[in-house]
Structure formats: structure tokens, C-alpha cells
Amino acid sequence: MIDVYYAEDDEVIAQSVKEYLEQQNCKVTVFGTINDIRKALGSHLPSILLLDWNMPDGQGNKLCRLVREKWTDLPIIFLTVRGDSHDIIAGFQNGTDDYVVKPFELAILYSRMLALLRRAGKTNGTKLFCDNLTLDKEKMAVYYEQEEIQVSQPEYQLLLLMMENKGKTITRQQLLEQIWDSNGNYVNDNTLTVTMKRLREKLHNPPCLKTIRSFGYRMEDSV
């Protein structure tokens, strides 16, 4: 589940976005002022921050600057009206990762959120992303799109190791040593082949899980 903090003072827009994102398996908390969301960030970090640029108590660039001073990896998307190029430039100067121009399609906002989370590779150290796959380390759960996938312990450990090293090729020997041998379970090479095959089938054969012939495997975004 994607934990979203959303700063928006227009209640109609806020409710529409909240309802849509919650249908996509997001948890959305709406804040009506920058001060409210700033206080909330002090006690809990979400997966991503959506920030309306013009708020009753100030502009979003101040909050962006504050967030970047304390939490460099928190993904931020700001929402601005069409033609406000000055706001867009100011946003990137103060740490915004992406922006969406109002009025926007809800599906486009969600796709930009997913793309940003995939580029980040992980969120707050608890969630890992690659294409349509999400691994929640706190829950020890794996999701394909919004569907939770039941995996065995070796399959989970295999996917966790691959996603924590997204973009890197991991050899078969490294996987065998880190997943099985570290637990005192000495197995042959065929065990890895069978485990990987079963994991791929459960995850609908994701293109982001690649076989590097003669070496091993690599997890990387396919788009």
C-alpha cells in the first residue's frame, strides 16, 4: 500500500483525488494547510508527498525546501495550474521531483506517482518497487499491482535480495550463498532454478526480472 500525504485546500478536488487513489490501494491523508502537513511529517513519513502549490498559509516551495533539508529521499510531486512556469522552476530548485498541471486526469497523476516511486527504488526503507511489483518489508508481503501474492520464504528472500539490488546483476552463486547457505541450508544449483521459476510464475512472469545468461539475474524497470 502506498502511503500518501496530500496537501490540498480545495475540498472537492481533495476528495476526488483521495477516493480515486484509495481505489488503487493507496492510503491518503489530506491536509488543508502547509503547517498541518509540516507537523504531521515530524512524526511520520509517508511513501510520497503530493503538494498543491498555492496553499492558504503559503506556497509549496517553502515546504519542499524544509523536506529536502531533513528527508532527502522523500518523493514529492507538486500540483500547479497551467502556465505557472515560475512555480515549476521554483519547485525543482527547492527539491520537487515531478509536477502535474491542473486540471489533470486522475489516472495520469497515479501513473506519475508510480513512475516516481519506481525511480526511487524504495520508499522510507520499507517498500521496494519495480514495474508493477511492490515488496513491503514491514509486512513481509509481495504485491503484483494491487493483488497480494502468496510466496514461500525462499521466494520472498530471493525477491527481496533482487529488489534491494535493483539495477545490479547478482550471480547465481551469490544468491545461493546469501539465501540458503547463510541459514546453514546447503542446496544444489537446481534449487535456485526451481525457486526462481515458481516465483516468476506467481508474479505473472514480470519483464523486470531478467535472466543474465551465464551470470545470474537482474531486477530493473522495464519502462
How far apart CA 25 and CA 104 sit, in angstroms, is 20
- Percentage above 70 pLDDT, the chain: 87
Bridge partners (DSSP) of residue 76 are 49
How far apart CA 138 and CA 115 sit, in angstroms, is 22
Q: Which cell numbers hold the place of 186?
A: 546447503
Burial readout 163-178 (b: 16 or more C-beta within 10 A, e: otherwise): beebeeebebeebbee
- Percentage above 90 pLDDT, the chain: 38
Homologous superfamily in CATH for domain 2-121: Response regulator (3.40.50.2300)
Give the confidence band of 122 by pLDDT, cuts at 50, 70, 90. very low
In the chain, where the domains are located? 2-121, 128-219
* Architecture field, domain 128-219: Orthogonal Bundle (1.10)
**pLDDT digits over 43-98, tens only?**
788 989 999 888 899 887 788 888 888 888 889 998 887 555 455 555 555 567 88
Q: Let me know if 144 is exposed, middle or buried by CB neighbors in 10 A (0-12, 13-18, 19+).
A: middle
Bridge partners (DSSP) of residue 148 are 143
Q: Which cell numbers hold the place of 28?
A: 491518503
For the chain, the helix, strand and coil percentages under 3-state DSSP, each to the nearest 5 = 40, 25, 30
Establish whether domains 2-121 and 128-219 are of one fold: no
How far apart CA 165 and CA 163 sit, in angstroms, is 5
Q: How many residues does the chain have?
A: 223
| Confidence (pLDDT) at 71 | 82
How far apart CA 63 and CA 215 sit, in angstroms, is 46
Whether 210 shows a pLDDT value over 80: the answer reads yes
Give the confidence band of 123 by pLDDT, cuts at 50, 70, 90. very low
| Confidence (pLDDT) at 145 | 77
How far apart CA 162 and CA 203 sit, in angstroms, is 14
Give the confidence band of 15 by pLDDT, cuts at 50, 70, 90. very high
* Of 207, 154, 205, 204, residue with least CA distance to 183: 154
User: In whole numbers, what is the pLDDT of the chain averaged over residues?
Assistant: 84
CA angle 168, 173, 178 (to 5 degrees): 80
Q: Which cell numbers hold the place of 1?
A: 500500500
**pLDDT digits over 134-166, tens only?**
888 888 999 987 789 999 999 999 999 998 888
Taking the whole predicted model, whether its pTM rises above 0.95 is answered as no
What contacts 59, CB < 8 A, 6 or more positions away?
A: 53, 87, 90
